[in-house]
Structure 1
Amino acid sequence: MNFIKPKKFKTLLAISATVMLSACASISQNDLVNLVPSSTLSANQIVSGKTFALTSQDIRTAQYIAEIKMDGQEQVQPLHAKQNVREAYANAIYQQFYSQGFAKTKNSNNTLNVKVVDSVVKVAQQPVKYAIDGKVTIQITAETPNGKFVKSYQGSGTKTGSFTADTKDIEEVLNRVSSNVLANIAKDSELTNYMKGNF
């Protein structure tokens, strides 16, 4: 049986402790995550003179945008967004419809509601590696006096790496997944055709 010499064992302990401490110190609870989903803009307008009143809701169960779970610890470290999450998604989605020719107004019988159901990144941090999982769900409701169209759009994404995740890694996953969900909304002909035919 091979035993580790006391000197070597102390060195290994010191390295492990340093890695764990650097992992803890890399992201503080005061760090804010930059939520900047990219809008998928239309090159050509498909409607003219179609208007709606824009409303939005944030119904997420947790108000933080990311959580970090250190290996061996029960509690998670929450991180919040720099931006108002509801407004960030609603504004980005509106830009998409605006590029298609739709416009928002206060006085309209037509409403478009953007509901943020889920938007969170979960980080599993181990001593020498990390895994990031992101999930975003947005529900769109287009409503007129004659009826409404409701649809949910979901996206997920992952990232793994060596040593310690930082805020930029979290932002990369969050914004990539968010932008993909927005792209699905912009390219949904079923939604666009409903708005085009009823607004």
Structure 2
Amino acid sequence: MKKILLISGLILGLSACSTPKEPQLTVAPQPTISSVPVVQGKTVMVESRDLRTAQFVAVVDNGRKNVQPIHATSNVRIVLEDALTRQFNSQGYRVATDSKGKVRLDVLDALVKVEHSVFSHTMQTNVQIQLVAETSDNKFVKRYTGKSTMEGATSASVEDMEIALNTLLDAVLQDISRDKQLATFMNENF
């Protein structure tokens, strides 16, 4: 009897390992790296918050009331904070915890919506990031938004969704790196 229980437990354990896992998206935006530093010796503290109402990064609607949320393989807030930190470092800022100037990145939206029909799909991607740059005396707040729509003849793959989301996040990070108002505020106040 013990042998039967042991063998059945082993079979159940092995079958659990072979069950398919839920798909996940790899969120890996590339920061805009500046070839020439724009500042020297200025420090900035970087923080982030995830203010999205739901933590998934994609929603796939196959019709017939079959909606599947897809999560990211890593924490979106941390990935974006790291990308922004690398971007600031390339611009000549020294990211530190003891700076009088602070930049907070708020993730407001990062979502791919996929609608499948029998022979095609539509992907709508939305990204919204808010930056709050502040010192004890001054504050600068700005939202950076990206939207894209793509259509295809077959089902959308996980890779298609990753490309759509990461491409839009790259574009928003590029907008942040080119923002003259943000650069002026940081140069004058940090």
Give the TM-score normalised by the residue count of structure 2. 0.87
Moved runs in structure 1, 4+ residues, more than 3 A? none
Alpha-carbon contact 2:111-2:165 (below 8 Å) kept: yes
2:35 is the alignment partner of 1:43: yes
2:109 to 88, 102, 118: 118
Letter in 2 for 1:67: V
Give 1:29 shift. 6.7
Aligned-pair CA distance for 1:159: 1.5
- Could you tell me how far apart the structure 2 residues matched to 1:145 and 1:163 are? 53
Matched, 1:165 2:156: yes
1:94: how far off?
1.4
2:61–2:67 contact (8 Å) kept in structure 1: yes
Matched, 1:65 2:46: no
In structure 1, stretches of 5+ residues that fail to align are: 1-27
TM-score under structure 1 length normalisation: 0.83
Does the CA-based 8 Å contact 1:65-1:120 persist in structure 2? yes
Deviation at 1:74, TM superposition (A): 2.3
CA-atom RMSD in angstroms? 1.2
| Residue of structure 2 aligned with 1:146, choices 137, 143, 160 | 137
Q: Would you say 1:175 and 2:155 are equivalent positions?
A: no
Q: Which runs of 5+ in 2 are unaligned?
A: 1-19
The answer (yes or no) to whether the contact 1:114–1:138 under 8 Å persists in 2 is yes
Equivalences for residues 38-117 of structure 1 within 5 A: 38-71=30-63, 73-117=64-108
Give 1:184's aligned amino acid. Answer: D
1:20-40, Cα deviation, whole Å (9 max, x unpaired): xxxxxxxx7711101111111
The one-letter code sitting in structure 2 at the alignment partner of 1:35 is: V
The Cα shift of 1:95 comes to 1.2
Count matched residues. Answer: 171
- The Cα shift of 1:75 comes to 4.2
